[in-house]
Structure 1
Amino acid sequence: MKEALKNHKVFDELFTPMYAIEPMLKYIPGNVRTIWCPCDKEDSKIVKALSACGYFVMATHIDDGIDFLDTEPPKCDMIITNPPFSIKDKIIKRCYDIQKPFALLLPLTALEGERRSKMFNEHGIGIVVLDKRVDYNGKGACWYNTSWFIHSPLTDGRIFFEKINPVDENK
Structure 2
Amino acid sequence: MSRTVPQQSRPAKSGAGYDKCWTPWHGVAPLLPYLPAGARIWECCAGAGWLAQWLREAGHEVIATDYATGHDALSWSPCPDDYDVIVTNVPFSLKYQFIARCYQLGKPWALLVPYSTPYAATAKRIRDAAGRPWEELRLNKRINFCMPDSGFQNNGAQMTTIWLCYGLLPAPIIDAEVPEPRPEHRLIKPPPARKPTRDDVVRWVAARGIGQLHVEQVADLVWEAVKLGIPTVEQLALF
Say which structure is richer in helix: 2
Aligned counterparts of 1:85 and 1:7: Cα–Cα separation in 2: 9
Q: How does 1:93-108 map to 2 (within 5 A)?
A: 93-108=100-115
State the aligned residue count.
164
For 2:137, the equivalent position in structure 1 comes to 128
Structure 2 unaligned blocks of 5 or more: 1-11, 147-151, 187-239
What is the deviation of 1:14? 0.7
Aligned Cα root-mean-square deviation (Å): 2.5
Q: How does 1:5-84 map to 2 (within 5 A)?
A: 10-11=16-17, 12-30=19-37, 33-41=39-47, 43-74=48-79, 75-84=82-91
Assess, with a 3 A threshold, how the Cα gap between structure 1 residues 125 and 64 changes in structure 2: closer, same or farther: same
- Equivalent AA in structure 2 for residue 65 of structure 1: G
Aligned counterparts of 2:138 and 2:52: Cα–Cα separation in 1: 21
For 1:148, the equivalent position in structure 2 comes to 163
Structure 1 unaligned blocks of 5 or more: 1-5
For 1:113, the equivalent position in structure 2 comes to 120
Aligned counterparts of 2:13 and 2:167: Cα–Cα separation in 1: 39
What is the deviation of 1:26? 0.5
Say which structure is richer in strand: 1
What is the deviation of 1:170? 4.9
SS at match of 1:123: coil
Alpha-carbon deviations, 1:33-78, whole Å to 9, x = none? 211000004x522111111222110000011111000113332100
Taking only the aligned residue pairs, the percentage that are identical comes to 29
- Equivalent AA in structure 2 for residue 34 of structure 1: R
SS at match of 1:23: coil
Aligned counterparts of 1:156 and 1:20: Cα–Cα separation in 2: 20
TM-score (norm 2): 0.62
Q: 1:89 aligns with which of 61, 86, 96?
A: 96
C-alpha contact 1:39 1:61 (8 A) present in aligned 2: yes
Q: How does 1:150-169 map to 2 (within 5 A)?
A: 150-152=165-167, 154-155=169-170, 157-167=172-182, 169=184
